């Protein structure tokens, strides 16, 4: 890793994106047709913009820092919600940032979003089956976990990924000059 990667300018930019993402996490809301405990916020979009501007490592750091801040200042889930948000968010943003690192164009953005959506749904499903649901509901049966994942969590994460994807396509195409400014 080059020393330029962790320059003061880079660290400040990651910190600013992390703070913005953390603040946006407070504006969470349930999506219609889903249980109210499944909340949506736009903080992954901030991490994606940071990742597109600064690279995949920055995207992961932004996700990590926003969730650590949330854990410290507003822990309502014993850390399980933050761990889930981190894992699922990273599963979405890494494919997008790597695809755009290869070549920054709409085709790679869409490829990254499709791979990121699939990755996010798989990570959320496996994470909920093995970690998150057992932590929240220790007595839940395997059949009930599978039922909950198929009927609620997969559709929720698909909708979440599509919303985040639309936002990123709009930002990517509408704010290219801003993204270039952030890089410099």
Q: Which tens digits make up the pLDDT trace of 54-71?
A: 999 999 999 999 999 999
Whole-angstrom distance, CA of residue 13 vs CA of residue 133: 35
Angstrom distances, CA of residue 66 to CA of 44, 58, 82, 162: 10, 12, 9, 22
Q: What's the mean pLDDT in 48-53?
A: 92
For 91-134, write each residue's pLDDT tens digit: 999 999 999 988 989 999 999 999 999 999 999 999 999 999 99
Which is nearest to 89 in space by CA: 110, 112, 62, 71?
A: 62
Give the model's pLDDT for residue 1. 46
pLDDT more than 90, % of the chain: 77
Given pLDDT bands bounded at 50, 70 and 90, which one contains residue 4? Answer: low
């Amino acid at each position: 890793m080059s020393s330029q990667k962790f320059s003061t300018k880079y660290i400040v930019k990651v910190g600013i994106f992390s703070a913005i993402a953390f603040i946006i996490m407070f504006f969470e809301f349930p999506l219609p047709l889903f249980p109210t405990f499944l909340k949506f916020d736009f903080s992954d979009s901030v991490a994606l913009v940071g990742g597109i501007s600064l690279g995949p490592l920055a995207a992961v750091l932004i996700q990590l820092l926003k969730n650590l801040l949330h854990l410290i200042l507003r822990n309502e889930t014993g850390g399980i919600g933050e761990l889930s948000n981190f894992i699922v968010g990273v599963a979405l943003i890494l494919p997008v940032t790597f695809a755009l690192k290869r070549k920054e164009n709409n085709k790679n953005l869409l490829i990254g979003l499709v791979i990121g959506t699939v990755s996010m749904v798989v990570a959320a499903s496996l994470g909920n089956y093995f970690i998150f649901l057992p932590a929240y509901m220790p007595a839940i049966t395997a059949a009930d976990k599978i039922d909950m994942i198929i009927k609620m969590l997969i559709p929720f994460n698909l909708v979440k990924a599509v919303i985040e994807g639309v936002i990123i396509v709009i930002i990517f195409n509408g704010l290219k000059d801003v993204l270039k400014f952030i890089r410099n």
